[in-house]
């Protein structure tokens, strides 16, 4: 930490999953643009890179341990932040990981773990922040979703994308309830992003069995994804979209992040559902 945390006129941002990828870039982007930023992460051993950059650039950024799957960790982290900063103006729910595998090959325990992090983790953090946001009568909650929702689904991503569909339903419903308290809810849907997020993919155990009836199908999907990654956007593209949303007087309910998802969305609006589905099959299952 290289700057005072006591500046009363500075807006406060909290970002989950900040050790790498979108969370890492978003935390740094917000800090560089004047936000007093709390970069939270499950494993503090992964904080070296962001701490080094923050120290070098003399950013007002503090690293806090927060495991979104642990009630006690979320409570302690949020209480600590609130006690120190006295307010939360921006909450970015980014922590999550993709579970990869054909649906039939997913074990129930694997699906539950996916939901525990990607959905219930978001719920825990939001519920911990809402009392303060209501009291201060302001705040913006940014939930990082997935372009897979706009696409209507991704082969091999049934568990992951379904958590993002749930987050979108949660966000849109909450928005009605929170608007009277001056709290806004925003969704950001990234396309294919070149980041450590891809390295954090958890392959379903059964999907790694060469005897799985879906083995060849998943190999084709993996090859297509690798090709798409080569033309994917960098994580800072998403960070800039988040910055745009949280600094706007009237943010949109949803933002797309990445040229690929923008192109797909444009195609979707100009095609029939059947035409769009056939196009996605050609791109995702070569």
Tokens representing residue 216 in the block: 């060849």
123, 124, 128, 134 alpha-carbon torsion, rounded to 10°:
10
Tell me which residues are annotated as active site: 145, 160, 164
What pLDDT is recorded for position 32? 98
β-strand pairing of 233-234 with 193-194: parallel
CA dist 132 and 126 (Å) reads: 11
Q: For every one of its 286 residues, what pLDDT tens digit does the chain have, with 9 covering 90 and above?
A: 334 344 457 899 999 999 999 999 999 999 999 999 999 999 999 999 999 999 999 999 999 999 999 999 999 999 999 999 999 999 999 999 999 999 999 999 999 999 999 999 999 999 999 999 999 999 999 999 999 999 889 999 999 999 999 999 999 999 999 999 999 999 999 998 877 656 678 888 988 899 999 999 888 888 887 877 777 889 999 999 999 999 999 999 999 999 888 988 888 888 888 888 888 888 776 6
Instruction: Locate all alpha helices (DSSP H) within 45-107, ordered by sequence.
Output: 48-57, 71-85
The CATH number assigned to the domain with range 12-284 reads 3.40.50.720
pTM of structure: 0.92
CA dist 101 and 107 (Å) reads: 10
Q: CB-based burial of residue 5 (10 Å sphere; 0-12 exposed, 13-18 middle, 19+ buried)? A: middle
Tokens representing residue 259 in the block: 């040229």
Domain ranges of the chain: 12-284
CA dist 185 and 179 (Å) reads: 8
The pLDDT tens digits of the residues spanning 134-166 come to: 999 999 999 999 999 998 899 999 999 999 999
DSSP state of 119: I
Give the total residue count for the chain.
Answer: 286
Q: Which of 45, 50, 62 is nearest to 2 (CA)?
A: 62
């Amino acid at each position: 930490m290289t700057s005072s945390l006591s500046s009363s006129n500075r807006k406060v941002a909290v970002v989950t999953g900040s050790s790498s990828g979108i969370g890492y870039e978003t935390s740094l982007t917000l800090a560089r643009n004047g936000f007093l930023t709390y970069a939270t992460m499950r494993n503090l051993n992964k904080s070296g890179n962001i701490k080094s950059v923050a120290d070098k650039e003399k950013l007002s950024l503090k690293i806090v341990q927060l495991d979104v799957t642990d009630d006690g960790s979320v409570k302690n982290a949020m209480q600590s932040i609130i006690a120190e900063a006295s307010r939360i103006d921006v909450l970015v729910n980014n922590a999550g990981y993709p579970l990869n595998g054909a649906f039939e090959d997913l074990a129930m325990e694997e699906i539950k773990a996916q939901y525990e992090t990607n959905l219930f983790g978001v719920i825990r953090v939001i519920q911990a922040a809402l009392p303060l946001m209501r009291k201060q009568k302001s705040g913006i909650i940014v939930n990082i979703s997935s372009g897979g929702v706009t696409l209507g689904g991704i082969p091999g991503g049934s568990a992951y994308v379904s958590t993002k569909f749930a987050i979108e339903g949660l966000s849109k419903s909450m928005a009605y309830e929170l608007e009277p308290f001056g709290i806004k809810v925003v969704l950001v849907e990234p396309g294919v992003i070149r980041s450590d997020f891809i390295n954090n993919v958890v392959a379903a155990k059964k999907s790694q069995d060469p005897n799985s009836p879906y083995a060849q199908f998943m190999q084709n999907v993996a090859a297509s994804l690798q090709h798409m990654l080569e033309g994917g956007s960098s994580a800072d593209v998403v960070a800039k979209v988040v910055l745009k949303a949280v600094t706007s007087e009237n943010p949109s309910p949803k933002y797309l992040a990445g040229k690929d998802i923008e192109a797909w969305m444009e195609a979707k609006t100009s095609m029939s559902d059947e035409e769009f589905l056939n196009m996605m099959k050609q791109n995702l299952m070569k």
